[in-house]
Structure 1
């Protein structure tokens, strides 16, 4: 039975898992070698089997009480048992595949009523039969099962998919196999495959595999194009790559792996043991590659193909950091539940996101980007002259992002003892990098990009105290000095229109890699860099005077987009006479936005933006609440 054992101990006396002291110390530093990944895998295996057993027990009652349940869960379970007796390693691969984890967790949520889906419940629960058929086929035992089919496509996770004549959205197909082949029939069609599952046949699309490294230490991952649960969000139609696209993935992954072996060998060893699948996603905008992972899908990464191999290496590090921390959090929580569950969760600025994030999400981001920072720290020393400036920039940018975010949440009252220990260990790791030299140009760009993201985030998502805003408005209208403004007297009100807050960083990357490129043209850049307006281009080109004039006109006469005050803070940075105003707008642009809106909406006034910024800046030029 697949849930025969939930223990990693040889004598099976305990169902509890633990991490060795050495392994835990490595994880808490943001590292984690292959040995601790094996420990995490053992724990994830037990968790996966327990969830599967819970799902089976719950599903049997649902299936037996339904008169329209065309898939036999009993037969599927019995087939899994027989396959495990014949080939336990095969069943292990099927049950530990990332898509299986996504499926079992989402199916349990459906049964518990916490997840809605338009897919028939029998098709969701019947995926167990698809897993059993895949395991039985790979184990080469005789079996016959009915499995779900979507528009004629039959999935055998880990092996591939069969394409039968198109039918309705959801129906069933018959899958029968022996030690030599498998026959998949339905809708008046038949696909025969085997004994070589990796060979393409009429109607059969095999799962491709990508090689990691060479020789005896080489590993491989599935290039997942078929598994309906590969994208972590529920059943997804297959997306089959062309041969040239598949070759591009193999070439890019090979180069990225070479970089990891050179710059981050410990990461490479851990990934070789724990990385199971790569799901190709549509290519994104340059310098904005897409990637994701899920705690329920250990070892699975969804990613678009970046333009540079080093970017793919950094993406692998980033997502595998999430994988490791997610598995650790399954063993022991890092954050306590909020005592007042009816209240809105506390939200924080995360320099890698447009939206405010809860504490749990911030910890995941810190852990992922600490790994990214460590990668670029090593990579910039080995990169060639053409790529070194970008590597210096990435290291400086993410070092700043991780350090500032660590500073904002360390010591939080909701952290568990392990959560406190994790953050303090990460603080020590990051603190050791603060003194690392970075060339002046790249350091300046990184600091400006980091400050720009933080300022735009505040302008979008923070709302100052209405009482203090009214007090400041009265003082402005009476010609008095700006009253003291509390830096913390703002509440988080998420703005769903906040997008592309990383525009300054993206434009900095364009500037470093192609100083005279078409990104400098405001008309062309609007299509190439989403979220970049004329002011953003002027600032990226270093033309602050022109940016100041444009922003002053917008803020005085027009309907300025949110983020204009943050941009004005950057535009004023080179003028000594505007230093206090620039400092204020860079740190707290939400106050300028709130005062301008109140003056305009309630009093019909459009204050001169430079005068208002200077007036507000006086509040921070002397010791007070901001210091």
Structure 2
């Protein structure tokens, strides 16, 4: 296989035009910028294909007895024939997001990396034959090829999947025969036929759903893929067929979300028209906690849970397409230098959209993605209907502040490349513009409270004052000294807690209040009765409930932050509230050390008041 764009001119390098580079640095970029990224991604895919071919130069992985032999050479031959006779069919298969994901995982597996799926190597490599069969079918070629069977299913990427009820073995092979546009797929004693229009369903054959999102206009087609094993990231998964109702709901919501994007984010819509190729649907998650994923190796693909509403889905598409654009940009040039190869520990940071600390590379991904989210809500809040506008104002106020604070944290980091500095400089200027925009007072206050609460809970989980300072504080407390030692104000150390979860409860409860006031939020994961009392403004009851949590057999770390909010506004608890809202890790560490030293815990409010007495380093 050859790259037709460079075969006659020799080695070439992809470079973004200055206009595209400037637009992408701002988190923007329309169809022209994305077309440049797609062109570069195509070359990268061809390089991965060549790397895989080189890795298989010594032969195919061994197969168990009783399976039809698969040959990567036969697959290469068929792919090359397809590229020559029907270039578009080859391109459609090559540039499918799932092809990129498979290529990356197959190469890693071939080189001995940890497996991301339970399929044996010969099945993973055999997916090349499935790709070749799919491309040749799209081209209308006649062929016969052996392909893998996965738990009774034969996926043919971009086309569909054949299901065999009588195949008991988890891994096997099937024969695919194509004649005059018709497919015959045989496994064991069963044969599934499809075509000549393979986009239609047939007994045993499930075609890839392709949605037309624009009834009028230039058109936008999107694959709603339930079938391809490599549609989910980072772990492949078996097909999950949508019911007729689910499929109809997804089609309606995607069509409405696309209309919102065309109206509120027209440049993003034009970019997605070129670069957004497929969406892998997953079941709905907990309300106001949607889940979505992209992968740098799967350019153009998104995995997303069923949304709560179409505006949320539109924001999700913007969020994930930001990751797609940034992934393509990083393939052309890194944003940050790698860590010291001599073994230096990776520096980790607070990321307001995560429960865990993140490395610089991950933080930059989040900054870029949520800058797109803030941009979306900045416009949509003015276009949303009156009932939804408070939610949109809240989302804009929350994400502009979170992105702005995070950009300020790292925009001068010494590991940033020139591209990274340019990108963060551009986004910093955009954040300054957003921060100057007016937001209704109630939604602004809710966003500030949610942001502060997440940060305080994160600190309570992941930060520790220096051990010597904690020991000094325990001694001072036991001696009855008036103030804690000054050493406790030293920079805390990062000590990540692996099971930190649901630190976003304040934001989720704010969304319930703004978007679903009649709904019962009592069964939200991570939300305690104390949190509900706090959300309802019952501060006295919330204070008592948080104190009870901190006195339990296994204290809840996040309760320190909640207690700080419950004590706010009460003059006698001013020191305690400020300490817990800004430095809750001090109370957690000293309380734990006190219990270890004496077998008893201090009253949380009294301890926090003592720790906060006279402090000047609190924001």
Scaled to the shorter chain, the TM-score interval is over 0.9
Q: Which residue of 2 aligns with 1:77?
A: 76
The normalised TM-score by structure 2 is 0.96
Task: Note the C-alpha offset of 1:404.
Answer: 1.4
Q: Which residue of 1 aligns with 2:405?
A: 404
Q: Which residue of 1 aligns with 2:162?
A: 162
Correspondence 1:501 to 2:503: yes
Task: Note the C-alpha offset of 1:199.
Answer: 1.1
Q: Which residue of 2 aligns with 1:337?
A: 338
- C-alpha RMSD of the superposition: 1.8
Q: Which residue of 2 aligns with 1:179?
A: 180
> In 1, Cα distance between the equivalents of 2:118 and 2:302?
25
Q: Which residue of 2 aligns with 1:47?
A: 44
1:181-207: CA deviation from partner (whole Å, max 9, x where unpaired): 111111101111111011111111111
> In 2, Cα distance between the equivalents of 1:326 and 1:423?
16
Q: Which residue of 2 aligns with 1:513?
A: 515
In the alignment of these two chains, the number of paired residues is 614
- 1:433 aligned counterpart, secondary structure: helix
1:4-55: CA deviation from partner (whole Å, max 9, x where unpaired): 4464xx9644421011100000000111111000000000000011001110
- 1:215 aligned counterpart, secondary structure: coil
> In 1, Cα distance between the equivalents of 2:267 and 2:520?
39
1:345-369: CA deviation from partner (whole Å, max 9, x where unpaired): 1111111111111110000000000
Structure 1 residues 67 and 552 mapped into 2: Cα distance closer, same or farther (>3 Å)? Answer: closer
Task: Note the C-alpha offset of 1:344.
Answer: 2.8
Q: Which residue of 2 aligns with 1:469?
A: 470
Task: Note the C-alpha offset of 1:180.
Answer: 2.5
Correspondence 1:444 to 2:468: no
Task: Note the C-alpha offset of 1:557.
Answer: 6.6
After TM superposition, the structure 1 = structure 2 runs for residues 159-558 of structure 1, keeping only pairs within 5 Å, are: 159-164=159-164, 165-480=166-481, 481-485=483-487, 489-519=491-521, 525=522, 527=523, 529-556=524-551
58, 62, 80: which one aligns with 1:61:
58
- 1:494 aligned counterpart, secondary structure: coil
Task: Note the C-alpha offset of 1:518.
Answer: 2.3
> In 2, Cα distance between the equivalents of 1:60 and 1:171?
23
Task: Note the C-alpha offset of 1:514.
Answer: 3.0
The normalised TM-score by structure 1 is 0.95
> In 2, Cα distance between the equivalents of 1:237 and 1:567?
42
29, 33, 44: which one aligns with 2:30:
33
> Is the CA contact 2:61–2:122 (under 8 Å) kept in the aligned structure 1?
no
Task: Note the C-alpha offset of 1:340.
Answer: 4.5
- 1:174 aligned counterpart, secondary structure: strand
> Is the CA contact 1:129–1:146 (under 8 Å) kept in the aligned structure 2?
yes
> Is the CA contact 2:488–2:586 (under 8 Å) kept in the aligned structure 1?
no
544, 551, 560: which one aligns with 1:565:
560
Structure 1 residues 386 and 59 mapped into 2: Cα distance closer, same or farther (>3 Å)? Answer: same
> Is the CA contact 1:60–1:73 (under 8 Å) kept in the aligned structure 2?
no
Q: Which residue of 1 aligns with 2:18?
A: 21
Structure 1 residues 234 and 178 mapped into 2: Cα distance closer, same or farther (>3 Å)? Answer: farther
- 2:175 aligned counterpart, secondary structure: strand
1:556-611: CA deviation from partner (whole Å, max 9, x where unpaired): 57642111111111111222332332222111101100000111111233212222
Task: Note the C-alpha offset of 1:531.
Answer: 0.6
Structure 1 residues 59 and 232 mapped into 2: Cα distance closer, same or farther (>3 Å)? Answer: farther
Task: Note the C-alpha offset of 1:487.
Answer: 5.2
- 1:222 aligned counterpart, secondary structure: strand
> Is the CA contact 2:470–2:589 (under 8 Å) kept in the aligned structure 1?
yes
- 1:63 aligned counterpart, secondary structure: coil
> In 2, Cα distance between the equivalents of 1:557 and 1:279?
43
> In 1, Cα distance between the equivalents of 2:57 and 2:195?
32
Q: Which residue of 2 aligns with 1:96?
A: 95
> Is the CA contact 2:141–2:181 (under 8 Å) kept in the aligned structure 1?
no
Correspondence 1:609 to 2:609: no
> In 1, Cα distance between the equivalents of 2:520 and 2:105?
45
Higher alpha-carbon deviation: 195-204 or 334-343 = 334-343
> Is the CA contact 1:99–1:297 (under 8 Å) kept in the aligned structure 2?
yes
> In 2, Cα distance between the equivalents of 1:545 and 1:459?
22
1:472-499: CA deviation from partner (whole Å, max 9, x where unpaired): 1122222222222565622222212211
> Is the CA contact 1:6–1:15 (under 8 Å) kept in the aligned structure 2?
no
Higher alpha-carbon deviation: 352-361 or 607-616 = 607-616
> In 2, Cα distance between the equivalents of 1:477 and 1:581?
18
> In 2, Cα distance between the equivalents of 1:404 and 1:369?
12
- 2:336 aligned counterpart, secondary structure: coil
- 1:354 aligned counterpart, secondary structure: coil
Q: Which residue of 2 aligns with 1:522?
A: none
> In 1, Cα distance between the equivalents of 2:552 and 2:377?
44
Higher alpha-carbon deviation: 307-316 or 210-219 = 210-219
Structure 1 residues 392 and 341 mapped into 2: Cα distance closer, same or farther (>3 Å)? Answer: farther
> In 1, Cα distance between the equivalents of 2:182 and 2:105?
32
> In 2, Cα distance between the equivalents of 1:542 and 1:202?
58
- Ranges in structure 2 where 5+ consecutive residues have no aligned partner: none
1:133-171: CA deviation from partner (whole Å, max 9, x where unpaired): 001111011111000011221111001011123231111
> In 2, Cα distance between the equivalents of 1:571 and 1:581?
10
Q: Which residue of 1 aligns with 2:581?
A: 586
**Displaced runs of 4+ in structure 1, greater than 6 A?**
64-69
- 1:197 aligned counterpart, secondary structure: coil
Higher alpha-carbon deviation: 326-335 or 595-604 = 595-604
Q: Which residue of 2 aligns with 1:151?
A: 151
> Is the CA contact 2:466–2:490 (under 8 Å) kept in the aligned structure 1?
no
> Is the CA contact 1:463–1:493 (under 8 Å) kept in the aligned structure 2?
yes
- Ranges in structure 1 where 5+ consecutive residues have no aligned partner: 520-524
> In 2, Cα distance between the equivalents of 1:450 and 1:43?
38
1:73-93: CA deviation from partner (whole Å, max 9, x where unpaired): 111000011111121011101
Structure 1 residues 234 and 547 mapped into 2: Cα distance closer, same or farther (>3 Å)? Answer: closer
- 2:146 aligned counterpart, secondary structure: strand
1:542-561: CA deviation from partner (whole Å, max 9, x where unpaired): 11121112223443576421
> In 1, Cα distance between the equivalents of 2:554 and 2:207?
55
